[in-house]
Amino acid sequence: MEASPQGLQIVLITGMSGSGKSIALHALEDLGFYCVDNLPPELFLPLVELEHANHASRLAIAMDVRSAGSLPLLPAQFRQLKAAGFQFDSIFLDASTDTLIRRFSETRRRHPLSQGSHSGHVLDQRHALAEAIELERELLSDLRSQAHVIDSSMIRPTQLQSYVTAFIEAPGEQLTLVFESFAFKRGIPSDADYVFDVRMLPNPHYEPALRALTGMDAPVIDFLRQEQDVQRMQDDVRAFLTHWLEALARNHRSYVTVAIGCTGGQHRSVYLVEQLAASFAARWVTLKRHREMDAR
- Domain parsing of the chain, residue ranges: 9-169, 176-294
Distance from chain centroid for Cα 259 = 11
Residues 213-220: what's their mean pLDDT?
97
pLDDT one-digit tens code per residue, 127-169: 688 899 999 999 999 999 889 999 999 999 999 999 999 999 8
Q: What is the pLDDT of residue 126?
A: 66
Strands of the sheet containing 34-37, edge to edge, are 34-37, 58-62, 9-15, 88-94, 148-151
pLDDT at residue 116 is higher than 80 = no
pLDDT one-digit tens code per residue, 3-34: 444 578 999 999 999 999 999 999 999 999 99
Write down the pTM of the prediction. Answer: 0.82
Q: Are 6 and 84 in contact (CB under 8 A)?
A: no
Q: What is the pLDDT of residue 117?
A: 43
Question: If residue 265 lies in a helix (H) or strand (E), which one and from where to where?
Answer: none
Q: What is the pLDDT of residue 83?
A: 85
- Percentages helix, strand, coil for the chain (3-state, rounded to 5) are 50, 20, 35
Mean pLDDT of the chain: 90
Q: What is the pLDDT of residue 106?
A: 87
| DSSP class per residue in 160-203 | HHHHHHHHHHS---S-EEEEEEEEGGG---TT-SEEEE-TTS--
Torsions phi, psi for 148 (to 5 deg):
-80, 120
Q: What is the pLDDT of residue 173?
A: 60
Q: What is the pLDDT of residue 71?
A: 86
Pairing of strands 176-183, 148-151: unpaired
Q: Are 51 and 43 in contact (CB under 8 A)?
A: no
Amino acid (1-letter code) at residue 269:
S
Q: Are 293 and 270 in contact (CB under 8 A)?
A: yes
Q: Report the alpha-carbon distance of residue 263 to residue 84 in Å, rounded.
A: 46
Q: Report the alpha-carbon distance of residue 49 to residue 47 in Å, rounded.
A: 5
Q: Report the alpha-carbon distance of residue 20 to residue 112 in Å, rounded.
A: 15
pLDDT at residue 125 is higher than 70 = no
For residue 60, give the 3-state DSSP assignment.
strand
Percent of the chain having pLDDT more than 90?
70
pLDDT one-digit tens code per residue, 225-255: 999 999 999 999 999 999 999 999 888 788 9
What angle, rounded to 10 degrees, do the helices at 44-53 and 74-83 form? 30
pLDDT one-digit tens code per residue, 46-73: 999 999 999 899 999 999 888 878 888 8
Domain 9-169 fold is Rossmann fold (3.40.50)
pLDDT at residue 123 is higher than 50 = no
